[in-house]
Amino acid sequence: MTEPRKLQGVDYFQWLRIMRRIQFGKNTGDTSAPMLKNIALILGSYADVKTGERAYPGITRLAHVVATTPRTVIRALGHLEKLGLIEAVRRGSTYGVYGQGKGTNYRLTIPSDLEEHVTLLPLHITEQDPIGTHPHPRTTPTTQITEATTHIKTIADQLQHLAQTLNNITQQDQNNS
């Protein structure tokens, strides 16, 4: 007889390390695997770092931040709940703050049967190497600087996109007032 599924509440960083390893594959319903992971990571960023609790951004806010539709967010959250990666602690109204309701309050969880439902990448692929143990000994300082510069540019582009999204939301709020 199989044991019943258990959901373990975890802090944000434990959950993030697991999320980096998850490969959702094709079993994501109507939501693409990259979009599902993106919605999960953005939702997780709203949670309390120490407890993984109190993530309640609301459907509309998540849709704006992720640049998708509320329907896609709803489907993705349902799939994440089904997988046991989040748990609804308190159900809110559908559209959170922007819809004059309250967002559902989620906590970040890891299910006891996670590996039965998703593929996990090996740790050596997803975890950063400690300084001095880089797996490619032929990497030169110039290559490392180039890689770091590329990474910084990517982060800068992401920040610029987030700033534009926030600016759009602010303008929409002002137009609605």
**Residue 48: which pLDDT band, with cuts at 50, 70 and 90?**
very high
Query: How would DSSP label each residue in the chain?
Result: -PPPP-EEE--HHHHHHHHHHEE-TT-STTS-HHHHHHHHHHHHHTS-TTTS--B---HHHHHHHHTS-HHHHHHHHHHHHHHTSEEEEE---TTTGGGTS---EEEEEEETTGGGTSEE--HHHHSPPPTT--S-TT--HHHHHHHHHHHHHHHHHHHHHHHHHHHHHHHHHHHH-
Cα(146)–Cα(143) distance, rounded to whole angstroms?
Answer: 5
More confident residue, 98 or 37: 37
Q: Quick one: how far is CA 126 from the chain centroid?
A: 15
* pLDDT of 129 strictly over 80: no
More confident residue, 159 or 39: 39
**Residue 94: which pLDDT band, with cuts at 50, 70 and 90?**
low
More confident residue, 98 or 162: 162
pLDDT digits (tens, 9 = 90+) for 141-157: 666 777 778 888 888 88
**Residue 140: which pLDDT band, with cuts at 50, 70 and 90?**
low
Mean pLDDT taken over the chain: 85
Nearest partner of 111 among 35, 33, 2, judged by Cα: 2
Distances (CA, A) of 128 to 24, 28, 172: 21, 28, 40
pTM recorded for the entire structure: 0.67
Per the structure block, which two tokens stand in for 159?
Answer: 């920040």
pLDDT of residue 151: 81
Instruction: Count the neighbouring beta carbons within 10 Å of the beta carbon of residue 28.
Output: 19
Mean pLDDT to the nearest integer, 71-78: 95
* pLDDT of 16 strictly over 90: yes
pLDDT of residue 139: 56
pLDDT of residue 95: 55
Least confident of 21-25, 38-42, 46-50: 21-25
